[in-house]
Amino acid sequence: MILSKKLVILMNNYPHPWKILDLWAGDGRYSVFCASYGHKVTAIDNESKENWLRPDYLLNHPNISFIKWDIRELPENILNEKYNIILIFNVIVFLKKKFFLEILLPQYLDLLDEWWTLCLTFFFADDEDMSKNQLLSFYSFDDFMFDEKIFSVKKDEFFVKENHEPIGEHTHHIGYIEVRRNS
């Protein structure tokens, strides 16, 4: 809910039709949310489970193009486009920290149109449930350094309560960064 509110604020400030790239889109909740504002969304997810069916609303929405692909190596047609907003929500925890910060993040920033925004979230290392998994990558705001001549940055942190299998009830400590290319 918190991320949806942040997207509403972003969209209400700049109500033009945009091109949005939703990386590791999952069930497409943010893709559908942005498409409901009339924006064109490219949703990418690499879900490899054969029996996992994408919801019809994601696959058949007139403003959403869904691509099954790994976000670590985007296809050429995506790399040749420019986007107004790039969403990277709750995914970088699964990527090696050095690889994301040094390779992927600069590549994603290059996909931004002249004056738009990349929004990402990460899990802090003090997230009790997530930190039990030694294979995950945790971040702090200090990990994200941006040239202030080129980018303006907004940061926020919040706690999200969830209740699902196999963990049950738990709380995540999440960092949010909004990076905007200066005009």
Quote the CA–CA distance of 120 and 90 in Å, as a whole number: 8
Map out the domains of the chain as residue ranges.
Answer: 2-181
Question: Which of 28-37, 55-64, 97-106, 140-149 has the lowest average pLDDT?
Answer: 55-64
Residue 50 pLDDT:
52
What value does the CA radius of gyration of the chain take, rounded to a whole number of Å?
16
Of all residues in the chain, the percent with pLDDT exceeding 90 is: 46
Hey, what long-range contacts does 167-171 have (CB within 8 A, 24 or more apart)? Answer: 167/129, 170/128, 170/129, 171/128, 171/129
Cis peptide before 17 (omega within 30 of 0): no
Entry pTM? 0.89
Superfamily per CATH, domain 2-181: Vaccinia Virus protein VP39 (3.40.50.150)
Whether 16 shows a pLDDT value over 90: the answer reads: no
154: part of which helix (H) or strand (E)?
A: strand 151-164
Instruction: Band the pLDDT of 100: cuts 50, 70, 90.
Output: very high
